[in-house]
A and B are shown apart, each in its own frame.
Chain A
Amino acid sequence: MIDFAVVNLSRLQFALTALYHFLFVPLTLGLSMILVIMEAVYVMTGREIWKRMTRFWGLLFGINFAMGVATGITMEFQFGTNWAYYSHYVGDIFGAPLALEGLMAFFLESTFVGLFFFGWERLSRVGHLVVTALVALGSSLSALWILIANAWMQHPVGAQFNYQTMRMELLSFGGVLFNPVAQAKFVHTVAAGYVVGSVFVLAVSAWYLLRGRNVDIARRSMAVAASFGLACALSVVVLGDESGYMASENQKMKIAAIEAEWRTETPPASFTVFGFPDVAARTTHAAVRVPWMLGLIATRSVDEPVLGIVDLVARARVRIVSGIEAHAALKALRANPSDTAAQARFAAHQADLGYGLLLLRYVSEPSTATSQQIEDAAWSTVPNVPVLFWSFRMMVGLGFYFIALFATAFYLSARHRFEQNRWFLRLAFLSLPLPWIAAELGWIVAEHGRQPWAIDGVLPTFLGVSPVPATNVWLSLSGFVIFYSALAAVDVYLMVRMIRRGPEGLGYWPPGSAARSGPQ
């Protein structure tokens, strides 16, 4: 019934295209804010150099922005093309934030981005600054709506299954909007994007300073990146989205997997700094633990337990058994919607319907599942522990590294000592790829950690796919790999070329040049 070749190919395609999209989005988020800061300084001081900075970084922003938009269209199409059952099953809830993203955020960002490039000579100083600010506002608002949609996948509040339409339907839009997971995610993700932008500006400026080029622009850019970056790096770590992890069952499982906490510890639980999670033996070898820390971080208390994987699996087992009841009642209701006994049975068990659906991986009729199949399904609720364990640690390590990097930059900037500390400039330049690695690892922790669910506790990922032939998915997947690789090559080539050329090589400055604004 379910073609697992299609499932795996569709998951791979979604992961690749999402990870690829997420290379460009954080830089758009971060650079747009930095452009606002630089242009605000220009408007307030009237010093031409800040305008040149805004235009130069704006040029690089444009190259990146194109890729963000291009790869974003894929994401909107892909729910329908590859995840048709998912789209039908949760479209009543999930579609709304996506549509609102277009209406409230993407329209704003896209309508004004053209004026950012073409409006320099047509708008007053303040007018142009407002346009730049609206672009930045639009991109951050866009992140807000996407993360509200994503948070609903992690923690599906405000919705209920309707057996007459065979799908989830909205109960409370406010619940979806003010999902606690969404708020935590938004702050964390947007701040992470600002860090990406800051490291980008810091690293490119460091490269100029190392070569003694564009010193005036590079120094000022570094100062902006250092102060903005420091504030954002602190926010990312302090307001990490762990706070949302206790909200639901899957989130608890995610945190247990991240910590490789196989068995529930007596609270407050210790934090495993290092170790080798062993999935087969269900233990972590050579673990180095810090007492109390996990309990404090995850529950903000000393007496609440952080449930371990084995206990969460036991709870999943109970819910699967209940889910079998829900599935059977649903079947009866499909045959006869006015069967009151089945209605009562469904009402009693419908919260566990998703757990019953997990069995469809092993058997086409959940009520005939053997106890071994139920056991397998219960263990299938555990995401990939070593991947989560390591991704999370690398991400957090990078987060602390960024704080140190920006703190040093801030100190050197305040004392005007960049050029005397070439080691720092080299370090800053070499740090260029790190924030992207951290961002992608964050995506892996959040989304790979959501498995096996597409919607936590509601819809298993394997069930969400479109019933399309595997050959089609092969074609699109290989098409994307080739097409995206070519685009990446062009994007990097242009970026490097423009950076090498630098602000002085762009032709239409110095100020007062006769040129009407062009697409800088």
Chain B
Amino acid sequence: MSDYETLRVIWWLILGALLIGFAIMDGFDLGVGATFRFVGRTDEERRALLESIEPVWEGNQVWFILAGGAVFAAWPLLYAASFSGLYLAMFVLLVALILRPVGFLYRNKILDARWRNAWDWALFLGGAVPALLFGVAFGNLFLGLPFHFDELERPVYTGGFFGLLRPFALLAGLVSLSMLIMHGSAYAALKVGEPMSARAAAVGRAAAIVYAIGFIAAGIWVASVLTGHQIVSQANVRGPSNPMAKDVAVYQGAWLLNFRAHRILWLAPAVALLGAGVTWVVLGARRPGVAFLSSCLTLAGTILTAGIALFPFLMPSSELPDQGLTVWDASSSARTLFIMLCAVVIILPVVLAYTAWVFHVLKGRITLEEIRRHTGVY
């Protein structure tokens, strides 16, 4: 069995990889969901946009389900504290996510404008709300969440729902929403015919600008205003997971410590911004395939930037900073981490292979002519 410290770091990387996988895969259908109602102006145009994601969104969403399952298995304390603490936000997220499967599979079954309109808006919420909330959640991690552990080691959250909607968190929400709209638009520009493709490219370019401004603003905010957390006692990186055995200092600028210690890490935010810039340029030049790839770089760079800033914290506590959850004290046992690592190493490549095959089978643009050939009510 590998060393406990290494396993913990590997699982932190796997969590990051799953989040990036989720953002790349499910991100584009959340982005298309948030915009198809506006990019498509007639029912046929909207059907073409929806059909670009309908065959694949289901598998894409499993990246999210898997990330949730991985947090449960590898970081049970994080799963317990975050899901119960963000109780009502989770409920809102859940309702939005539930609208998607039913929306996709039910919308086209009845040829009635009111029916389809209603599902269009449901799908809009199912795309926009999660895209926004994921950013709000990350923003709140930077701010710290008000929780502590009681005598049974139960995570007790002492904030409310509206406490989550702090300005920095909303800015982070805007960053993630615009990022996923940029990503979804690049995908739509690639996968659907005209005139939707051109409109999607324009939306994607606007989103890239909003993203870049938001990301830079958030960076300045983190560097100059926000207080970060730092473990100041000896971190027991190989010890049993106990989040109550450390001392944490809170001071302004602490979220930049990792970047200051390893300057190469500045590559992450640089790649994020560069990706957005390239996406803006190539969408203008109508090269959506390149735009989709550069947008993937932005997603990866953004998530890595947030992860690096917070490391080793997973969920800092603003109420009792000493009890914040870190990579070193919120993980599963070494045995569970090792077994799950083996499972991921063996199975994930298989998943990637058959996913690639499915996308290969579905290659090609969905044009209006094709949509018009679908005469049946389905």
For B233, list chain A residues within 8 Å (CB).
Answer: none
Decide: B102 and A490 in contact? CB cutoff 8 A.
yes
Q: Is B339 engaged at the interface, CB distance under 8 Å to the other chain?
A: yes
Q: Say whether A99 contacts B335, CB under 8 Å.
A: no
Q: Is A494 an interface residue (CB 8 A)?
A: yes
Mark contacts of B91-120 with chain A using CB atoms, 8 A cut-off: 1 yes-contact digit, 0 otherwise: 100110110111011101110000000000
Contact of A96 among B73, B242, B354 (CB under 8 A): B73
Interchain CB contact under 8 A, A99 and B69: yes
B35-43, B56-64, B252-260: which one contacts chain A? B56-64
The reply to whether A112 and B79 contact each other, CB–CB distance below 8 Å, is no
Q: Are B54 and A167 in contact (CB under 8 A)?
A: no
Alpha-carbon distance A169/B81, docked complex (angstroms): 18
Interface status of A514 (Cβ within 8 A of chain B): yes
Query: Which of A76-84, A222-230, A269-277 is found at the contact surface with chain B?
Result: A76-84
Beyond the given A117-B54, A490-B102, please list 8 additional residue pairs across the A-B interface where CB-CB is below 8 A: A88-B154, A99-B74, A103-B343, A106-B66, A114-B54, A506-B377, A507-B376, A507-B377
A430 to B255: give the CA distance in the assembly, Å.
65
* A487/B66 in contact, CB under 8 A: no
Residues of A within 8 A of B97 (CB): 70, 73
B355 within 8 A of A: yes
Contacts of A515 in B (CB 8 A): 373-376
Set B72, B157, B376: member contacting A91, Cβ < 8 A: B72
Q: Which stretch (A406-414, A446-454, A465-473) binds chain B?
A: A465-473
Binary contact readout A75-110 vs B (1 if CB under 8 angstroms, 0 otherwise): 011011110110110111111101111111011101
Q: Which residues of B have CB within 8 Å of A111?
A: 56, 58-59, 62, 351, 354-355, 358
How near does chain B come to A142, taking the closest CB pair, in angstroms? 11
Is there contact, CB below 8 Å, between B102 and A66? yes
Asked if B69 and A66 make an inter-chain contact with CB atoms under 8 angstroms apart, the answer reads no
Per the bound structure, the CA–CA distance linking A71 and B97 in Å amounts to 10
Chain A residues whose C-beta falls within 8 Å of the C-beta of B235 in the assembled complex: none
Query: What's the Cα separation between A477 and B51 when bound, in Å?
Result: 34
Residue of A nearest to B70 (CB): A99
Cross-chain contact A76 with B69 (CB below 8 angstroms): yes
On whether the beta carbons of B358 and A84 are closer than 8 Å, the reply is: no
Q: CB within 8 A of A162: which of B90, B102, B333, B358?
A: B333
B335's partner among A90, A108, A173 (CB-CB below 8 A) is: A173
B102 touches A165 (CB 8 A): no
**A508 CA to B110 CA in the complex, in Å?**
15
B59 to chain A, nearest CB (A): 3
Interface of B is mostly: helix
Contact B240 A164 (CB under 8 A): yes
- Give the one of A110, A123, A475 with max B CB within 10 A: A110
Q: For A118, give the chain B residue with the smallest CB separation.
A: B55
Which chain B residue shows the least CB distance to A473? B87
Closest 9 CB pairs of A and B: A507-B376, A91-B76, A80-B83, A95-B73, A114-B55, A111-B59, A99-B69, A466-B84, A95-B72
- In the complex, which residues of chain A have a beta carbon less than 8 angstroms from the beta carbon of B77? 88, 91
Q: Once bound together, how far apart are the Cα atoms of A101 and B72, in whole Å?
A: 12
Q: Which residues of B contact A103 (CB under 8 A)?
A: 66, 69, 343-344, 347-348, 351
Interchain CB contact (< 8 A) of A99 among B55, B240, B340, B362: B340
Within 8 A of A (CB), among B140-174: 150, 152-157
A-B contact pairs, 21 of them (CB 8 A): A67-B101, A69-B101, A80-B79, A82-B84, A95-B73, A96-B73, A103-B343, A111-B62, A165-B242, A165-B333, A166-B152, A166-B242, A167-B76, A169-B333, A170-B333, A467-B84, A476-B88, A483-B98, A507-B376, A507-B378, A519-B378
Residues of A within 8 A of B84 (CB): 80-82, 84, 466-468
Residues of B within 8 A of A520 (CB): 378
Q: Does A183 contact B (CB under 8 A)?
A: no
B370 CB-CB contact with A under 8 Å: yes
Whole-angstrom distance between the alpha carbons of A100 and B97 in the complex?
A: 21
A66 touches B101 (CB 8 A): yes
Report if B82 contacts A (CB, 8 A): yes
Do residues A113 and B80 form an inter-chain contact, with CB atoms below 8 A?
no
- The interface residues of chain A lying within 8 Å CB-to-CB of B336 are 92-93, 95-96, 169-170
Docked Cα-Cα span, A66 to B54, in Å, equals 12
Specify which chain B residues have a CB less than 8 angstroms from the CB of A66 in the assembled complex: 101-102, 104-106
**Residue B305 at the chain A interface, CB threshold 8 Å:** no
* Beta-carbon contacts under 8 Å, B237-285 to A: 239-242
Bound Cα distance from A519 to B101, whole angstroms: 13
B378 contacts A506, CB within 8 Å? yes
Cβ–Cβ < 8 Å partners of B347 in chain A: 103-104
CA distance A94 to B72 in the complex (A): 8
Interface check A26, CB cutoff 8 A: no
Give the residues in chain B near A108, CB-CB below 8 Å.
Answer: 351, 354
Kindly count the residue-residue contacts between A and B in the assembled complex, taking CB atoms under 8 Å apart: 274
State A98–B56 Cα separation when bound (angstroms). 22
Q: Are A63 and B376 in contact (CB under 8 A)?
A: no
B65 is an interface residue with CB less than 8 A from chain A: yes
CA distance A118 to B358 in the complex (A): 11
- The verdict on A494 contacting B109 (CB below 8 Å), with A96-B339, A118-B362 known, is yes
A397 at the interface (CB under 8 A from B): no
Q: Do A487 and B102 touch across chains, with their CB atoms under 8 A apart?
A: yes
- Complex Cα distance, B61 from A516, in Å, reads 26
Which residues in chain B, 305-363, are within 8 Å of chain A measured between CB atoms?
332-333, 335-336, 339-340, 343-344, 347-348, 351, 354-355, 358, 361-362
Contact with A along B156-200 (1 / 0, CB 8 A): 110000000000000000000000000000000000000000000
Q: Known interface pairs A95-B69, A99-B70. Does A81 touch B87 (Cβ–Cβ under 8 Å)?
A: yes
Residue picked from B58, B76, B239, most chain A C-beta under 10 Å:
B76
Min CB–CB distance A131 → chain B (angstroms) = 9
A88 with B73: in contact, given A70-B98, A95-B332 (CB under 8 Å)? no
* Chain A residues closer than 8 Å to B289, beta-carbon distance: none
Judged by a CB distance under 8 angstroms, whether A115 is at the interface is: yes
Give the chain B neighbours of A354 by CB distance below 8 A.
Answer: none
B68 at the interface (CB under 8 A from A): yes
Please tell me if the beta carbons of B376 and A123 are within 8 angstroms of each other in the complex: no
Q: Quote the shortest CB–CB distance from B199 to chain A (angstroms).
A: 23
**Do B361 and A119 touch across chains, with their CB atoms under 8 A apart?**
yes
State the Cβ distance, B321 to closest chain A Cβ, in Å.
20
Q: Known: A119-B361, A508-B378. Contact between A77 and B54, CB under 8 A?
A: no
A85 to B153, CA, bound (A): 8
The complex places the Cα of A518 from the Cα of B62 at a distance, in Å, of 23
Is A244 close to B, CB under 8 A?
A: no
Pick the residue among B105, B153, B351, B354 that contacts A62 (CB under 8 A). B105
Interface residues in A39-78 by Cβ distance below 8 A to B read 59, 62-63, 65-67, 69-71, 73-74, 76-77
List of B residues within 8 angstroms of A118 by Cβ: 51, 54-55, 362
Residues of A within 8 A of B378 (CB): 59, 506-508, 518-520
Q: Is the CB of B375 within 8 A of A508?
A: yes
In the complex, the answer to whether A122 meets B362 with C-beta atoms within 8 Å is: yes
On chain B, the residues within 8 Å of A415 by CB distance are: none
Assuming A91-B332, A122-B362, A467-B84, is B66 touching A107 (CB within 8 A)?
Answer: yes
Candidates B54, B68, B83, B106; contact of A84 at CB < 8 Å = B83
CB closest chain-A residue, reference B77: A88
Q: Could you tell me the distance in whole angstroms from the C-beta of B272 to the nearest C-beta in chain A?
A: 27
